[in-house]
């Protein structure tokens, strides 16, 4: 009988390790998770990172109950921020910046996860040159969204006047833009990397330009929060940002987790999934600093009279990221 009692107390090391890991990943007993409404627009890129974070429960282990809310354009995303329906956004930085540019709401960029253009400019197969784009219809999500301001900025590189030479059609995010391209309702559109294979496979279209090859910084994806939220909920905001930093680390160093997330999102072809993974992993920044050059490019691309005098430094709050870096957390993650 004594032997049986002794055996009952001897918990196997492996089971103990599992129990401890679960305990560490859970909020303290009796602690109510802090709810954060997170707005996002578009599929792929930021969504892929978010799925990795959800699969590895990074928010949960920090006592956060993050509830992502999808919006079909950056414009509606900004309206949700203004209305107080969300307290953070991780996509469409230019549209969020327009809140402050317009003097409507004080927001700050606390992190830039991808500091370059990442989409492809896709056209109907008959279009061979920039000159062929004159008079053509280009799909965007909504006026004022990142797809709008980015497209206008890019066509200027090709010496086209977006106001005179092209017709902009509001259609929605990548899936609806692809549908419009395939059906011939529009002639060109931005397409995210994870959806490129779909439109190319249709045979209707071709890649006119890979925007990542344009050599300049641009704060396209990142975390934007109301300045008031950062001030009054600073600890929560820091935990939220820290989760993204760990999520980027997992995305970069544990490809099996990211590839599984991509598969769940519909990328079942291993070669295509690996190509998408490599591209996003390369673009995600270990330290997602909101750097002035990329922020300024995003502000300038808004193109309104008020944006002309806006300075990047007034739109950045790097204090949360600075605190995390000074704590040694990032260095510890990457073993530096």
Lay out the sheet containing 167-170: strands in order across.
Answer: 167-170, 137-140, 188-191, 120-124, 205-210
Name the domain boundary from 197, 213, 229.
Answer: 213
Query: Would you call 45 helix, strand, or coil by DSSP?
Result: coil
Quote the pLDDT of residue 47: 85
Encoded tokens for 192: 């995210």
139 and 283 co-located in one domain: no
Encoded tokens for 60: 């949960």
Per-residue pLDDT at 2 exceeds 80: no
| Out of 71-75, 123-127, 166-170, 267-271, least confident range | 71-75
181 and 166 co-located in one domain: yes
Q: What are the residues whose beta carbons fall under 8 Å from the beta carbon of 153, sequence distance 6 or more?
A: 301
pLDDT level of residue 24 (50, 70, 90 thresholds): very low
Residue 149 lies in a domain: yes
| Out of 18-22, 59-63, 204-208, 282-286, least confident range | 18-22
DSSP 85-132: S-SEE-S-HHHHHHHHHTTS--EEEEEEEE-S---EEEEETT--SGGG
Phi, psi of 241 (to 5 degrees): -65, -40
Size (the chain), residues:
336
Per-residue pLDDT at 328 exceeds 90: yes
Residue spans of beta strands (DSSP E) within the chain: 34-41, 64-71, 88-89, 107-114, 120-124, 137-140, 167-170, 188-191, 205-210, 221-226
112 and 227 co-located in one domain: yes
Residue 208 CA to residue 121 CA, distance in Å, equals 6
147 and 182 co-located in one domain: yes
Quote the pLDDT of residue 25: 42
Phi, psi of 105 (to 5 degrees): -150, 140
Per-residue pLDDT at 335 exceeds 70: yes
- pLDDT mean over 193-199: 91
Query: Would you call 169 helix, strand, or coil by DSSP?
Result: strand
- Backbone CA torsion sign across 182, 184, 187, 190: negative
User: What is the tens place of the pLDDT at every residue in 128-144?
Assistant: 999 999 999 999 988 98
Residue 204 lies in a domain: yes
130 and 142 co-located in one domain: yes
- pLDDT mean over 31-54: 88
Per-residue pLDDT at 248 exceeds 60: yes
Encoded tokens for 104: 């409507």
Is 27 buried (19+), middle (13-18) or exposed (0-12) by CB count in 10 A?
middle
pLDDT level of residue 265 (50, 70, 90 thresholds): confident
First vs last C-alpha separation in the chain: 53
Residue 13 lies in a domain: no
Residue 51 CA to residue 57 CA, distance in Å, equals 10
Residue 3 lies in a domain: no
CATH number of residue 209's parent domain? 3.40.190.10
Residue 237 CA to residue 169 CA, distance in Å, equals 37
Residue 24 lies in a domain: no
Query: Would you call 29 helix, strand, or coil by DSSP?
Result: coil
Residue 101 CA to residue 80 CA, distance in Å, equals 17
263 and 313 co-located in one domain: yes
Quote the pLDDT of residue 167: 97
Residue 80 CA to residue 74 CA, distance in Å, equals 10
235 and 101 co-located in one domain: yes
Quote the pLDDT of residue 135: 97
Residue 1 lies in a domain: no
Per-residue pLDDT at 3 exceeds 90: no
Quote the pLDDT of residue 282: 94
Quote the pLDDT of residue 14: 37
Per-residue pLDDT at 12 exceeds 70: no
208 and 157 co-located in one domain: yes
Residue 26 lies in a domain: no
pLDDT level of residue 152 (50, 70, 90 thresholds): very high
| Contact status, residue 36 vs residue 87, Cβ threshold 8 Å | yes
Mean pLDDT, the chain, rounded, equals 89
Quote the pLDDT of residue 38: 97
| Contact status, residue 182 vs residue 202, Cβ threshold 8 Å | yes
Q: What are the residues whose beta carbons fall under 8 Å from the beta carbon of 32, sequence distance 6 or more?
A: none
Quote the pLDDT of residue 42: 73
241 and 322 co-located in one domain: yes
Per-residue pLDDT at 22 exceeds 80: no
Residue 89 CA to residue 80 CA, distance in Å, equals 10
User: What is the tens place of the pLDDT at every residue in 46-79?
Assistant: 789 999 999 999 999 999 999 999 988 888 999 9
Find the domain containing 189 and state its range: 120-213
Residue 194 lies in a domain: yes
Quote the pLDDT of residue 179: 93
pLDDT level of residue 278 (50, 70, 90 thresholds): very high
User: What is the tens place of the pLDDT at every residue in 70-113?
Assistant: 988 888 999 999 999 999 999 889 999 999 999 999 999 999 99
209 and 284 co-located in one domain: no
Number of domains in the chain: 2
pLDDT level of residue 30 (50, 70, 90 thresholds): low
207 and 58 co-located in one domain: no
Encoded tokens for 271: 């070669």
- What's the whole-model pTM score? 0.86
Phi, psi of 311 (to 5 degrees): -110, 135
Name the domain boundary from 176, 194, 213.
Answer: 213
Name the domain boundary from 213, 241, 256.
Answer: 213
Per-residue pLDDT at 237 exceeds 90: yes
247 and 198 co-located in one domain: no
């Amino acid at each position: 009988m004594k032997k049986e009692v002794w055996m009952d107390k001897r918990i196997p090391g492996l089971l103990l390790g599992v129990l401890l890991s679960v305990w560490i990943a859970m909020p303290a007993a009796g602690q109510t998770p802090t709810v954060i409404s997170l707005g996002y627009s578009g599929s792929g890129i930021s969504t892929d990172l978010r799925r990795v974070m959800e699969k590895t429960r990074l928010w949960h282990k920090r006592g956060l109950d993050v509830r992502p809310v999808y919006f079909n354009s950056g414009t509606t995303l900004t309206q949700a921020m203004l209305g107080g329906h969300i307290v953070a956004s991780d996509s469409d930085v230019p549209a969020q910046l327009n809140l402050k540019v317009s003097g409507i709401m004080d927001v700050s960029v606390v992190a830039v996860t991808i500091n370059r253009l990442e989409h492809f400019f896709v056209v109907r197969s008959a279009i061979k040159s920039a000159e062929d784009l004159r008079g053509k219809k280009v799909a965007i999500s909504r006026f004022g969204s990142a797809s709008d301001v980015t497209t206008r900025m890019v066509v200027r590189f090709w010496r086209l006047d977006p106001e005179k030479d092209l017709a902009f059609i509001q259609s929605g995010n990548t899936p609806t833009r692809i549908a419009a391209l395939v059906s011939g309702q529009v002639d060109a559109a931005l397409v995210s990397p994870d959806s490129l294979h779909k439109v190319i496979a249709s045979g209707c279209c071709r890649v006119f330009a890979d925007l990542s090859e344009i050599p300049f910084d641009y704060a396209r994806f990142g975390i934007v929060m109301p300045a008031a939220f950062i001030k009054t909920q600073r600890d929560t905001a820091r935990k939220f940002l820290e989760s993204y930093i760990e999520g980027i680390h997992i995305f970069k160093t544990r490809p099996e987790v990211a590839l599984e997330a991509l598969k769940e999102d519909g990328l079942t072809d291993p070669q295509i999934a690996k190509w998408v993974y490599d591209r996003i992993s390369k673009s995600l920044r270990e330290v997602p600093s909101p750097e002035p050059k990329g922020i300024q490019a995003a502000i300038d691309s808004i193109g309104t009279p008020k944006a002309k005098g806006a300075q990047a430094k007034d739109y950045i709050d790097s204090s949360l990221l600075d605190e995390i870096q000074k704590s040694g957390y990032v260095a510890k993650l990457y073993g530096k």
